[in-house]
Structure formats: structure tokens, C-alpha cells
Chains A and B, each alone.
Chain A
Amino acid sequence: MIKTDILIIGAGPTGLFAVFEAGLLKLKCHLIDALPQPGGQLAELYPKKPIYDIPGFPEVLAGELVDNLMKQIEPFQPGFTLGERAETIEKQEDGSFIVTSTSGLKHQASVVAIAGGLGSFEPRKPLIPNIQQFEEKGVAYFIRNPEVFRNKKVIIAGGGDSALDWSIFLSEVASEVTLVHRRNEFRGALDSVEKVQELKKLGKITLITPAEVVGLRGNEHLDAVVIQKADKSEETLETDYFIPLFGLSPKLGPIADWGLEIEKNAIKVNNSLDYQTNIPGIYAIGDVNTYPGKLKLILCGFHEATLMCQSAYQRIFPDKRYVMKYTTVGGVHGFDGSKKEAPKAVVKSID
């Protein structure tokens, strides 16, 4: 069991900055995120794209902003549960919450801050009628352990980086790799495209384009896929595995069933005070929340995170008195013993 003061669900910019504001109040944080790396959309969708409306940064790349935030919160030693989704929440008798993530890992905290952005990123599943029947039985949307595919026949569908990169990787592992894509053009990094081209010439990857997987066959386990070509002709191809890699799309997911008030696919909060939800002790900050006049901007998420932390402090220490202190005055005292302080002015008389 992981114990912390504020459990933050979502490690995007808002969740990361909340760690800093909490740290100034000597509150510890732990973050859960479905993606394998921190940064949320910024890291997953557009790390190389510029953002122009972060105050004080005329231009900053999304990936750089994440790196900067990670550096800024480092002194406060946040914990991370990455690659896992927050599944359930249970309120305890002492008022704290226990959140369980995908692997069954339990996280206990006095306050839960949902900074879930658009939701957790989940694979886009192709519209093949019986695909669900073969999930875990030959259809895989993720490749967790490539050894599963050793000496097996694999069909990959998709036209982006992950389809190309996994085709390349699995060509050394699987007995046969077939890549199916709706166009002749691929969207991946140039060297990946060239590598696939080369492996195709060597006969290590079979390319079928333009074509689409439209059907799945098998009894218990997947045996074959039906491939439809541009001229609508169909071909059945035997295989052990089908791996559709069509990118990720965000889904609010299990959080939607936590008893929170939801409006327009977002969590309603009290914006006149502290961004608390209808369940006391659970807050929602950043793109995941909604209130009159809401704007889904990173800078608004930072503001919401800051006010949430003040309220969380009051909730955790109802009898303590505290007033906000500027970092220029108080400095930043990390939990790791590090200390950042404004240098003292030199007072010296002139003779």
C-alpha cells in the first residue's frame, strides 16, 4: 500500500504542477497515470509542438514544458504509478480514500485530486464486429511481452510509428510478420519507413496495401483474418495474432463511475472556492473539470492546482493556521533536503 497526502490521478502538466504547490505546503504527492511516461497529452500526442500561452514563455515545446515541470517538482520527490489506470475508489472510516490501480496496487491518501485531462489513453479499436470475442485470444492492442509472439504468425494493422516500429521489431521474433495498411503511404519517421521497405525486400515483412482487416475467424483462439483490398476482393490469411495499432484515444473510463457529478464528459466542481467535486475530499483540476466559463488551458490548470492545494491543506490540517508565502521570500525546501533561496541583499556602507 502506497500512502501519501494527495493522490493525483493524471500526470499531465496540471497534475505535475500540483506536486510543486503541495510541496510548498509540505504535503507529499503520488501520481497515477495510464501512460508509461509523465506529461499526459503533451508527452504522448505532441511533444515536438510549440505552445505560446504559458505565461513567461513566449514559446516552449510541449516536451520541454514537461521536462521543466519534472525538474521543478524533483525536490518534492513525488511517487509515480505509471502505465496503470485508477480503477476504483473507496472511502475509509477515517475520511481517507483508497484508490486501486489496474495491477491491484492500493494507494491511500487524505485527498484525491483528479487531474485526468481528457481521460486515460486507450487503444482505438477497429470496427470489426467480433473483435471483442478474440481479445486476449489472438487480438492484442498493446505489446507488453514480445516473447509471446516468438515463432508465431503475426498480422499488424496501422500506418503510424507504432505499426512500423513493432513490425520491424517483431520481424526478428515472429515466424511471419504481415503489415496491413489502408494506404500505400506510411506516416512514421523516415528511417522506420525505409527500414520496413528494406525488410520487405528481404522477405522478412509482407506488406499488404492498400487493404484493411475486415473480419476475424477462429473458434476458441484466432485462426485467420479476412483482408479486404481496395478492389473489394477478400482474402483469408491464417495467423496466430492480430495486432491493430491505430493509436490511442482518451476515455474518461472508470472515474465516470465514482459517483462524481459529470456534465459534458467532465467533472463538475465548485469553481468559486477550491475545485472540489460533489464528494468532499475529491477535487478535479485541469481539463477534466467543468464549471461556468471553463477554459481547457494549461495555465488555468496551474491556477486550479494551486487553489486545490490550499484547500487540501485545510482539509488535512483543519486546526493549523497558515498564510501563503511567496517563494521569493520563503524559498523552496525540498523533501530531499535541497534548498533554494533568494540570495540575501548585500548591505554595505559606502565610505
Chain B
Amino acid sequence: MSDITISITDRDGAIHEVQAPTDMNMNLMEIVRSYELAAEGTIGICGGMAMCASCQCYVESNHELPEKGDEEEAMLSEAFFVKDNSRLGCQIHITPELDGLKVTLAPEE
């Protein structure tokens, strides 16, 4: 299956162009972890249940993303550093449509 390219700006401002598989049931938080773009223990703390905001990121390209579910919406309403383009990486499933996606990781809480 094909990989897609995602541009991720880490918490220190460095930009990483990474390949993300679309056939491994992965989400954006897991892609960040697999490339170790944020220190282990500072991202994906709840494991991907939308129960912490450690994978918050800002979406900076115009890709159409799946709408936020109730859990993501609720978590973002209590998270810190939230902007209009905030999403939880763990709720963004890697699909072919996301090729070229650009995101920046939110600061660690």
C-alpha cells in the first residue's frame, strides 16, 4: 500500500517531512511517536483515547479532516494553548486524502 507524506513541525520548531503508512490503522499521534518527534512520555499519554491533550496539534494546510467527535471536542474545550485549528492527533486517522498534510505540535502542557 502507499505511504503519504506529512509535514510535522516539532515543539522546537524543526520541520520534518515524514512518510506515513495508510494501511496500518495508524493515527497522527502514532506517526509522531514512531518518528520520535516528541519525547516519549510527553505525547500520547492516554494511549489515544482522547482523554489527554498531549497530542494536540495545529493543522496548517487546507485538508478536509473528519469532523471532531464529542470526546475530542470535549477534551479540546479543557486543553491549554487551544487555537481554532487545534486537533488531537490521536483522532486523525492516516488516510490517502491526507497526503501533504501540514501540522505543528502544540507545546507540552
Contact = CB atoms under 8 A, between A and B. Distances in A.
A118 B47 CA distance: 11
B41 A118 contact: yes
Contacts of B41: 118, 252, 264-266
Interface in B62-102: 70, 73-74, 77-78, 80-81
A126 B80 contact: yes
Interface size bracket, A side: 20 to 34
Interface stretch (A99-107, A177-185, A316-324): A177-185
A183 B40 CA distance: 31
Interface string A301-339: 000000000000000000000000000000000000000
A296 B40 CA distance: 12
Given A45-B46, A46-B49, A124-B109, A264 B78 contact: no
Contacts of B61: none
Given A45-B49, A49-B49, A118-B45, A181 B77 contact: yes
A187 to B, nearest CB: 4
A185 B70 CA distance: 10
Contacts of B47: 296
Nearest to A46: B49
A159 B78 contact: yes
Interface in B3-59: 39-42, 45-47, 49, 51-52
Contacts of B42: 265
Given A45-B49, A118-B41, A265-B42, A187 B77 contact: yes
The range of chain B's interface size is 10 to 19
Nearest to A266: B41
B41 to A, nearest CB: 3
B3 to A, nearest CB: 24
Nearest to A182: B77
A158 B73 CA distance: 14
Contact of A158 (B45, B52, B78, B109): B78
Nearest to A163: B78
A45 B51 contact: yes
Among B40, B47, B51, B78, find the residue whose CB has the most chain A CB atoms closer than 10 A: B78
B85 to A, nearest CB: 16
Given A118-B45, A264-B40, A264-B41, A183 B77 contact: yes
Contact of A127 (B39, B52, B73, B80): B80
A265 B52 CA distance: 17
A246 interface: yes
Nearest to B51: A45
Given A45-B49, A185-B77, A247-B78, 15 more contacts: A41-B46, A45-B46, A46-B51, A124-B80, A124-B109, A159-B77, A160-B78, A185-B73, A187-B70, A187-B77, A249-B45, A249-B52, A250-B45, A264-B39, A264-B40
30 contacts: A41-B46, A45-B46, A45-B49, A45-B51, A118-B41, A124-B78, A124-B80, A126-B80, A127-B80, A127-B81, A159-B78, A160-B74, A160-B78, A181-B77, A182-B77, A182-B78, A183-B73, A185-B73, A185-B77, A187-B70, A187-B74, A246-B78, A249-B45, A249-B52, A250-B45, A264-B40, A265-B42, A266-B40, A266-B41, A296-B47
Interface of B: 39-42, 45-47, 49, 51-52, 70, 73-74, 77-78, 80-81, 109
Interface of A: 41, 45-46, 49, 118, 124, 126-127, 158-160, 181-183, 185, 187, 246-247, 249-250, 252, 264-266, 296
